[in-house]
Amino acid sequence: MKTLIRTLALFLSLSLPTWALDAADSQRLAAIQQRWAEIQYQVPEKQRPAEFEKLAAQSSAFTRSTPEAAEAWIWHGIVTSSWAGAVGGLGALGKVKEARAALERALQLDPRALQGSAYTSLGALYDRVPGWPVSFGDEEKAEQLLRQALAINPDGIDSLYFWGDHLLRQGHTAQARDALLKARLAAPRPGRELADQGRRREIDALLQEIHND
């Protein structure tokens, strides 16, 4: 019995995250999330690179002050990948690699943090960046990661949106429509109202694309 208890204690120490955000860090995370949504959905397109650059400096500082917090690494990855998308072209290549490294670090720390958001964001990154020899894009890797995200958060607006987008890219129109319609009905996220509104507009745009085809 003592051996069983020691084994169980060891398993729990290995499987549970060792870091929890305190109140101040949670507020810092919420501020980064809110600013990301403002830039992504309200700032004019030409101004986004500069604004994402500023936010990436903040999210990088967050990882340095809380290096064991998967949430900080997730959001540094999200911000940096969004910055890359806003910049585009060859100037984005270094940024997408930095985003990948941040998200992979988050998975090492706690793959279930923020309902598996590291899987979602990393899967979307693999889905959208160019493949070899330009970059690391890989449709099969993207699908694997997005499926892992859905296993953790099957009803989330982001996990379903990016899964639907992936299916549409692969030509699976009917399945993509089903995933996007389910994403459209996802429960609202308290404090993420602006992000939810923007994501639903993106969902509607893909649904309209499907309808037009």
pLDDT digits (tens, 9 = 90+) for 66-114: 999 999 999 999 999 999 999 999 889 999 999 999 999 999 999 999 9
Q: Give the confidence band of 14 by pLDDT, cuts at 50, 70, 90.
A: very low
Domain ranges of the chain: 23-149, 154-213
Q: Do residues 194 and 41 touch, judged by C-beta distance below 8 A?
A: yes
**CATH fold label, 23-149:** 1.25.40
CA dist 207 and 213 (Å) reads 10
Does 213 have pLDDT greater than 90? Answer: no
Q: Is the pTM of this model over 0.85?
A: yes
* pLDDT of residue 46 exceeding 80: yes
| Residue 58 in this model has a pLDDT that exceeds 70 | yes
- pLDDT, tens digit, 9 for 90 and up, residues 157-190: 999 999 999 999 999 999 999 999 999 999 999 9
19 falls in which pLDDT band (50, 70, 90)? low
